[in-house]
Structure formats: structure tokens, C-alpha cells
Structure 1
Amino acid sequence: MLDLDAWAIFAAVADARSFTAAAEALGVSKATVSKAVARLETRLGQALFHRTSRRLALTEAGRPLADHARRIIAEAQAAEEAARAGADGLSGRIRLAAPLAFGIADVAPLVAAFLLAHPQVEIDLQLSDARVDIVADGFDLALRIADLPDSSLRARRLCGVAAYLVASPAYVAAHGAPAHPADLVRHRLLGYTNVPGPWRFSGPDGETSVRPTGPLVANSGDALLPALLAGLGIARLPDFILGAHLATGALVELLPAWRAAPIGLHLLTPPSSLRPARVEALIDWLATGLKP
């Protein structure tokens, strides 16, 4: 028979990187944790951890098995919750990652409404423009605004997010406005590293691209705003960051005839197709609420 307890304990140790921390998280003794991992190692015929007095690390064999263990436990939990959901309603904890500014403006209100509709659910909303490792960091789902590389994650494109090329009126007065994307090489450009690579444009002359160089790069669009408003350069940022500043005239759009392709808003989940009912419900809620 499959030793589910041992697999669950192994996954907890892999995530906590500590036998002691895993035991505390599971509410069992450290001896129970040690015996379960030893039992699994014996069954598999290979070591799962390198143990020293100072650190604990997964072996080469243990690293891929840790992902399998997480999926086994997640699918078992999903099966239990699916059985309970019909009678008891949705309950339990969901870990959700989202970009900072977009999370505050668009995701947080949807999360609040979801919690009102499902009072037995708890949500751990983590907002950061840094790219998170969904599986290793234990997230149930993540929203990401980017062109996605190939990966084992399951991705669902919700919509496009418009991006605009902007500067302050003071910058335009001091340096002039570009008439063509090729003119940007003579300007000070502020880089948004969450959308790496050159800036690509489509317009009257076809397609062209420019690689931004200038005095500031940041992985947060909000961090570029003070420099933009102070007239230090030109940036290309998503509309959810720029909207209020464009409306007040604090920033002006440049090259309106040259459009950047919309950046995709994607909803990412771990590789398994079997998810807890509460997570499926939040996915549907976000997909409906975030579509234009």
C-alpha cells in the first residue's frame, strides 16, 4: 500500500528544509518525522536528503520526488475537499500571488468580494513584482503579467493589458517628443524589468523595436513613477499603473500611432489538474472579474 503519511511528511520536510520545523507544522514529534522519512528512503532505496549539522538539502533524487510528493498531497486534499464542499460549502486556505500595483488596484477588491461570498475560506494574498516559484513557495495560484516561457505550470490567459509610452510634460519641454520609435535611442529611457527585452512597436511603417537604456531600471512600475513625474525620462508601463496620471495630465502619452502589443495577464497554477474546490472557485471568480 502507498505510504501516504510518509509522502506527506517528506513534502513537509522538503518545504520547511528542517525536520524540526516540519514536525511543528504537522503537530507531530521530530522522531515521527525522522522515522517516516527513513521509512520512505528504505522503500525507495535511495537517500532523499543530505544531512549535516548545519543544513538539510534535497539530494539529486529527492528534488524531483519532492514535486511528486507535493502533487500527491495536493490531489488527496482536493479529493477530500471536493467530497466535503457539496455538504459544507467552501472552506480552507488559499495562497495567491499577484503583482503589487495590479494586486492592490484590481485583485484585492475581487478577493474581498470572494471572502464575503465564502466566509469559511481564508486567503493569503502575497503582492510582489518579483517572479515567484509557485510550486516551491507553496502557492495555489498566481497572476502574472508577462509573456510566459514554456514551463510545466498550467497557464490560462485571461486578457491583454495595454501598455503606453509616457513622459512628463516637463521632460517633453526639455527634450522634445520622439516622432518615431527610432528617435528613442536619443532619449533617456526608464526600464521595467518585469517585461524584459526590447520595446516592440507596431505602427504606420510596420514593426520596429528599441532596447531601453537610461538612468533607472526597476522590477516595479510604481518605483519608476517618481522618476517619470520628475521628468527624468520616458517609460513604457501598463495602464493600471499609469491611468490616474494620464487622466490628470501629470504624464502624457507619446507615439500614440505606434502601439505595443498588449501584455498577457495569465493565471498560473501548479501542474496537477486536480485542485481543491475552493481554489477552482477562486479561479473562476478571478477569471470572470478580471476579464474586460
Structure 2
Amino acid sequence: MQNLPDLEAWAIFARVATTGSFAKAAETLGMTQPTVSKAIIRLERRLGTTLLYRTSRRVSLTPTGQLVMERAKHIVREGELIEAETSAHSRAPMGLLRISAPMSFGLKYVAPLMPGFLARYPDVNLDVCFDDAVVDVVGGGFDVAIRIAAPEDSSVRSRNLCAIRRMLVASPTYLARHERITHPREIESHTCLCYASHSTSLSWRFQHASGEECSVTVDSRMRTNNAESLIPALLAGMGMALQPEFVVADALARGELVEVLPEWKIAQIYLSLVTPPRVFRPARVAALLDYLSESLPSAP
């Protein structure tokens, strides 16, 4: 008969990996430190490899420990999900929520909302990751991913909150040094700064009110995975860039940047809330989705 996985040891390992300490893990789990230590030793013997480096001052993950850490966390989260879906208390939001959000948008609009959410739901804890990379919601163990992109495919559950306008911008000093642009095809002769998070970042598509469409291949002098990091170069007159409106709104209002070709529109992207394709949704996730839905639409 095949032995069952040591799920308790995996859960303890996940907590040690998260806290970086046997003592802290024991405290949060309501166990003694020797119990935690024995569980890790039991798991390592079972696997025939070392998962944690121990010193008198700290605990760190071995290469093998790093490889299995996220999967161990996923095991724990799935266990929590099962209990949440069958518990008589499942209607009360509680437990850990892992959130992914784009860096610039997240810091400006999401971070200020978190204190209010924590105050409203005192039994919920948050783990928020600000990163412009498009995360694997399921593989990364995230409950909710806030994305600014094209509509999602059917492999995940997505709620579109609003459209995000993008615009071509440059500084007055840059525009003063060049002839006036009258058509998107003229962009190819200009210096461009590119936000490279999206696969279409080097091919910009424009549509005129008349229905005319134009696709421009951009040769970028500077590429970055964070839209806000282009602002200093834009203000310094180093080129033009295609930017989300919320990133450049303040600079436009101050006259530090100017919209180029305002009569030409760029395909819209959407502010979306993405969740794993689960049949059941824990109360804490539903609470967060409702909270963000009521708080975010007017932000951009």
C-alpha cells in the first residue's frame, strides 16, 4: 500500500519558508518549535534531500526548497479552500488573500484602498505583489490578479471594470525640435520610448474617426517593463511614447507633456480582475472583488 503524502509536514514547511524562522512558524501555527523542527526533518528524510539551511541566526531555502516552496503553499491554499467551501463559517471573509497588481497602477490606486479593506474585514490578511509581469494566477497561487490588458481568455475568470485609454505623448521641447506630425506613419522617423510589457509594444495600431487604420512598427531607443519609468525621459524631451492615460494625466494637466495625434485612437485595453477558474469562490475573494469593483472604476 502506497503511503499517503505527509500533508501536515508540507504545511509546516510552507509556513517556515514564508516566515523564515522555525520560531515564528511555530508561533503562528500554535505549535512548539521542536514539533515544527521534527516535521521538517521527517519531510526531508522522506524526500531524501535537504529543504532548509539552518544556522543559529536564520533559516533559508536550499535550491530544492526553492523549487518546491510555491507548490507547498499551493497545497496549503487548496486545503484552506476546501475547508472554506464546506465550513459553516464560509460566509464570513477570513484567511489569507494573495493579490497581484501592476506596479504603477497598484501603487497609485490599489495600495491606498488596502487599509479600508483590512478595516472592513479584520479576519482577512493580505499578501500583495506589485509587478508589471503577467503572472500565472493558478501556478503562482494568487487569488486575484489586477490586470491592464486586452480581454482575458476563457482559461481564467475575468471581470472587466472599465476601459483604459492609451495616448501618444511627447514633451513640448521634443515637439519643438521636430516637424509637426500629421499621420501615424510619420512616427517611424521619430525617437520612440516603449513600454514593453505587452507583446504588441513595438507595433502600434491607430484608427482615425474616418475609419482609416494604420499600423506602425516602432524602433525604440529605450524599452522598459514599467510605464511610469518612461516619464523622466519623456519630460527630458528624449522621444515620444504610447502611455496609459492614468500614467501621464498629471503631466498633461501641467503642460509638461502633450498628446500627439489626438484625432487618432489606439485600441483600448481594460482594467480587469482575474481569478482562478474555480467552481466555488471563498468569501474573502468575493469580498475583495466587490470591494475593488466599487472602488476602482473611477480611478483611471
- What TM-score comes out, normalization by structure 2 length? 0.76
Aligned to 2:148: 145
Q: Is 1:110 paired with 2:128?
A: no
CA shift for structure 1 position 99? 1.0
Aligned to 1:199: 204
Q: Against the structure 1 CA distance between its residues 57 and 108, is the aligned structure 2 distance closer, same or farther, given a 3 Å change threshold?
A: closer
Aligned to 1:237: 243
Q: Aligned partners of 1:55, 1:270: CA distance in 2, in Å?
A: 28
* Structure 2 SS opposite 1:280: helix
Q: Against the structure 1 CA distance between its residues 67 and 124, is the aligned structure 2 distance closer, same or farther, given a 3 Å change threshold?
A: closer
Superposition map of 1:155-194 within 5 A: 155-194=158-197
Q: Against the structure 1 CA distance between its residues 78 and 152, is the aligned structure 2 distance closer, same or farther, given a 3 Å change threshold?
A: farther
Q: Against the structure 1 CA distance between its residues 271 and 21, is the aligned structure 2 distance closer, same or farther, given a 3 Å change threshold?
A: farther
Structure 2: 5+ residue stretches without partners: 52-61
Contact 2:13–2:72 (CA under 8 A) maintained in structure 1: no
Aligned to 2:54: none
Contact 2:101–2:147 (CA under 8 A) maintained in structure 1: yes
Measured against aligned partners, the alpha-carbon deviations of 1:52-75 in whole angstroms (never above 9, x if no partner) come to 79642799xx9xx97984664242
Give the letter aligned to residue 118 of structure 1: Y
Measured against aligned partners, the alpha-carbon deviations of 1:233-292 in whole angstroms (never above 9, x if no partner) come to 010111110110111110000111110111121211223232321121011111222224
Which of 277, 283, 294 is the aligned partner of 1:271?
Answer: 277
Superposition map of 1:6-21 within 5 A: 6-7=6-7, 9-10=9-10
Q: Against the structure 1 CA distance between its residues 178 and 83, is the aligned structure 2 distance closer, same or farther, given a 3 Å change threshold?
A: farther
Q: Against the structure 1 CA distance between its residues 13 and 152, is the aligned structure 2 distance closer, same or farther, given a 3 Å change threshold?
A: farther
Q: What percentage of aligned pairs have identical amino acids?
A: 38
Measured against aligned partners, the alpha-carbon deviations of 1:143-183 in whole angstroms (never above 9, x if no partner) come to 01112664743322222111111000001000133211111
Q: Is 1:83 paired with 2:88?
A: yes
* Structure 2 SS opposite 1:83: coil
* Structure 2 SS opposite 1:134: coil
Give the letter aligned to residue 256 of structure 1: P
Aligned to 1:92: 95
Q: Aligned partners of 1:38, 1:75: CA distance in 2, in Å?
A: 29
Q: Is 1:56 paired with 2:45?
A: no
Counting matched residue pairs gives 275
Contact 1:14–1:58 (CA under 8 A) maintained in structure 2: no
Q: Aligned partners of 1:75, 1:207: CA distance in 2, in Å?
A: 48
CA shift for structure 1 position 10? 4.4
* Structure 1 SS opposite 2:89: helix
Q: Alignment RMSD, CA only?
A: 3.6
Structure 1: 5+ residue stretches without partners: 40-48
Measured against aligned partners, the alpha-carbon deviations of 1:90-109 in whole angstroms (never above 9, x if no partner) come to 33332211112211222123
Contact 1:23–1:33 (CA under 8 A) maintained in structure 2: no
Contact 1:141–1:268 (CA under 8 A) maintained in structure 2: yes
Give the letter aligned to residue 108 of structure 1: A
Q: Against the structure 1 CA distance between its residues 67 and 114, is the aligned structure 2 distance closer, same or farther, given a 3 Å change threshold?
A: closer
More moved, 145-154 vs 214-223: 145-154
Give the letter aligned to residue 6 of structure 1: D
Contact 1:91–1:121 (CA under 8 A) maintained in structure 2: yes
CA shift for structure 1 position 36? 6.6
Contact 2:74–2:141 (CA under 8 A) maintained in structure 1: no
Give the letter aligned to residue 73 of structure 1: G
* Structure 2 SS opposite 1:283: helix
